[in-house]
Structure 1
């Protein structure tokens, strides 16, 4: 059981590390957009489209591998784990993941708020054309004279963007990083038992 658990937590760790990078990229690109609100300069349409695409195209949802852990917790296999600290961390795992998922849901709501303002006040076609996504999707380029730079003058867009950034940073610092520490601790405990 323990070697399988080790492998499962190593996979979950790798997934979390990728997710941390995606989330960080999202909020760093959103921060670049936010800087234009307090700047005299305005990005060109291609730069803004690229930033918008990079900031809002990727969801962050942590989905760890739990199948073996679930099997162990729901069978007599759990009794074979004698380290009480490891047992406690394993039984707490699901509630930690649920808290993460709850935070991710709140973050997704903030992301949706930004996108809703964009849907109403911006041009998705311009974003797709100027970021190169239209070509990737096989869409014909249609000249859309709508500019998305006007978003930088909407207080609702700025407020929603800033809350999204705060939520993204909080997700990383208060949830993902502590979870990464927890996974490392669990792996250390498992390795100690395997010796």
Structure 2
């Protein structure tokens, strides 16, 4: 391109040979202007090439990030699905226990009660999403390489949403511990729960020769009150926190997939 303009400039100078000194000045003026134009054109072309290369590198980098984020959020989605199911099993088991409380006659066996207690209170509830790439992008400032403004906003909001989820899970854990604390006291037996639910055998622990009954918990108002709070908190965790979180996660995945080329 530059050579092309240079040939035109030289041709003009050759065809317009001055006959007077003033014409000679005009020739040099045209020559100088031509050189300036060529330099400017060269700079503009170089900038265009550089910008084009930079845009290409940025786009390639963005696609790598998008593929990694898609993988992370798909894994997090599977984890959240499993966690919702565990949380639901916990409060459904607790609700089943509530159905046997303060009955005129005992309506559940020690084995059934032990299995329900273990199934409802053995598992902590904590969402542990895969955020290593997202955290790296935020810490390094690479989140700006995501061109979709809405996606950048949702990725930033995702971190603050997880903090809210953690607070709710911590509250749920406190109420779970209050129920477990009642079972821990001297009048009840965790050993019976472990033996009759099959946990002792799985861990290779010796079975107790004498089983202490936990059925008296079914007539404890303190136990009932803490169970009710646990059920309410577990249900709220699913409906008011996990379900909106799943919606948020699916929306982010939708935005990511739309940007992947």
Return the match for 1:65 from 116, 127, 130: 130
- Measured after TM superposition, the shift of residue 128 of structure 1 is 1.3
- Which residue in 1 is equivalent to 2:51? none
Q: Distance in 2 between matches of 1:85 and 1:172?
A: 26
Correspondence list, 1:96-107, <5 A: 96-107=161-172
Matches within 5 A, 1:28-39: 28-37=92-101, 39=103
Residue 37 of structure 1 aligns to a residue whose secondary structure is: coil
Residue 131 (structure 2) pairs with residue 131 (structure 1): no
Aligned match of 1:150: 216
Aligned to 1:192: 258
Q: Structure 1 residue 133: deviation in Å?
A: 1.4
Of 122, 137, 145, the match for 2:188: 122
Q: Equivalents in 2 of 1:173, 1:29: separation in Å?
A: 17
Are 2:259 and 1:175 equivalent residues in the alignment? no
Deviation sequence 1:152-191 (CA, Å, 0-9, x none): 0000000001100110011011111110110000000011
2:114 to 44, 49, 63: 49
Contact 2:179–2:223 (8 Å) recurs in 1: yes
Give the C-alpha shift of residue 38 in structure 1: 5.2
**CA-CA distance at 1:75 after TM superposition:** 2.4
Query: What count of residue pairs does the alignment treat as equivalent?
Result: 195
Q: Which residue of 1 aligns with 2:22?
A: none
The residue number in structure 2 matching 1:83 is: 148
Question: What are the Cα deviations for residues 65-121 of structure 1, in whole angstroms up to 9, with x where unaligned?
Answer: 111001112224212212111111011111100110100000000000000011114
The Cα shift of 1:130 comes to 1.3
**TM-score, structure 2 normalization:** 0.72
Unaligned runs of 5+ residues in structure 1 are none
Which shows bigger deviation, 95-104 or 143-152?
A: 143-152
**Root mean square deviation, CA, Å:** 1.2
Maintained 8 Å contact 1:6/1:190: yes
Gaps of 5+ in 2: 1-64
Give the secondary-structure state (helix, strand or coil) at the position aligned to 2:147.
Answer: coil
